[in-house]
Structure 1
Amino acid sequence: MKWLNIEDIAEALEEKFPDGDIINIRFTELKKKILDLEGFDDEEERCNEKILEAIQAAWIEERS
């Protein structure tokens, strides 16, 4: 997975952290969780706040 695989990342986060507080998560914590996902293979520097916002929104949608 790469940073722009928003939906795949959201699905993987929901699978690994089904009880996580995704509304109040800090972006630093979200970024760490993504970097630790199995199958995630992208450079940390390629991430920005806009990408993290999109991932958070997709994760919220995935859960609902």
Structure 2
Amino acid sequence: MKWTEIQEIAIQLSEARPEIDPTRINFVDLMNWVMALPEFDDDPKHCGERVLEAIQQAWIDELA
């Protein structure tokens, strides 16, 4: 899984961390959680604030 797979990352985060409210996360934690996903395999340098914002929004949408 790569940084560009926003929706899949959001789904996996919602399953892996059901106790987390994605509206209250910081981007450092979010980036670490994404990189810790078992299927994730991408360079951290390919991640930026816009990518993290998109993941956060997709995660929020996933729970709605």
Interval containing the TM-score (normalised by the shorter chain): over 0.9
The Cα of 1:59 is off from its aligned counterpart by: 0.1
Alignment root-mean-square deviation, CA = 0.5
TM-score by length of 1: 0.97
Moved over 2 A (4+): none
CA deviation digits over 1:4-51, x for unaligned, max 9? 000000000000001102111000000000000010000001000000
Number of residue-to-residue matches in the alignment: 64
Gaps of 5+ in 1: none
* Structure with the higher fraction of residues in helix conformation: 2
Percent identical pairs in the alignment equals 44
Aligned to 1:56: 56
Aligned to 1:37: 37
Gaps of 5+ in 2: none
